[in-house]
Structure 1
């Protein structure tokens, strides 16, 4: 490839690429659960644009191409909700998911006073669970969404070094 992947804040022009990549990345999860009506597959371009405008959305760029993305919000009690972590299939297994997650964690702690991070993962996606556990997340709850799908809630506290600088 010869180019570096840059992680930066998404802008309105990225919304369409984010939506297309999200659709590509969530096909496997939909297939595993037998449900193609999951939110990442039914979200509209207008909804993605609103999230880019109103929340913390980061993209990973390879040249002009969006090859990854992640989103986060922080609620009033300081819980950062992280979601829609996606990496193009050809870019997976090179640490980009971990880089995106670390970048959004840093932004949410520094810019939005996050005290803890929370995310969800399907129990049938062991690679995602391994990544989150390796990065310090611990399971705190499991919810059966359907006969084929359980979501595991994982959390970790913001490290004191990040909380002190926020």
Structure 2
């Protein structure tokens, strides 16, 4: 019988596992865009450690192994910004991304000032776009990242987060 995946807050000790997972999980995105300079692949360990100290960082664990991660923060305008959602390639397609998204929304909603959620994904990333649309996100714009990848900006109202939690 297999172990179940649990989601919890990341600790400083998780930094190396998270950065390795992030590097592995974002390889398919880099290949899709023919661009290995995307931010998740070039982020330094020190930068990740700073995020662990200041942001909401959640991890999915299968036993001791970190198999998923997501980050979020709430800005002064009440926007919960969600970033670097990643799942180990061998576990993709089993709902873990949706669970992580739901968990970070719930964590960021703990702040009564949170009015909406915003995230970015590459314009060619169909599986990501499908996940986010299913979770209630709609496209509100786009921009080109510093690495040259065209990004889609998606948002949803924070009050809609609980609706997704019930159906996920």
Flag structure 2 segments of 5+ consecutive residues without an equivalent: 163-168
The change in CA–CA distance for 1:161 and 1:137 in structure 2 (over 3 A counts) is closer
The alignment's C-alpha RMSD in Å is 1.9
1:93 positional shift: 0.8
User: Which position in structure 2 is the counterpart of 1:35?
Assistant: 35
Equivalent pair of 2:105/2:161 in contact (CA under 8 Å): no
Give the TM-score of the pair, scaled to structure 1.
0.91
User: Structure 1 stretches (4+) deviating beyond 4 angstroms?
Assistant: 145-148
User: Which position in structure 2 is the counterpart of 1:114?
Assistant: 114
User: Which position in structure 1 is the counterpart of 2:143?
Assistant: 143
Give the TM-score of the pair, scaled to structure 2.
0.90
Q: Give the match's secondary structure for 1:154.
A: strand
Aligned residue pairs, count: 162
Q: Give the match's secondary structure for 2:110.
A: helix
Q: Deviations over 1:32-76 (max 9, x none)?
A: 222212111111111111111111000000000000000001100
Q: Deviations over 1:4-42 (max 9, x none)?
A: 100000001111000000001111212222221211111
Q: Give the match's secondary structure for 1:159.
A: helix
User: Which position in structure 1 is the counterpart of 2:166?
Assistant: none
1:111 positional shift: 3.6
The change in CA–CA distance for 1:65 and 1:133 in structure 2 (over 3 A counts) is same
1:1-166 equivalences under 5 Å are 2-111=2-111, 113-145=113-145, 149-159=149-159
In 2, the alpha carbon distance for the partners of 1:118 and 1:129 equals 13
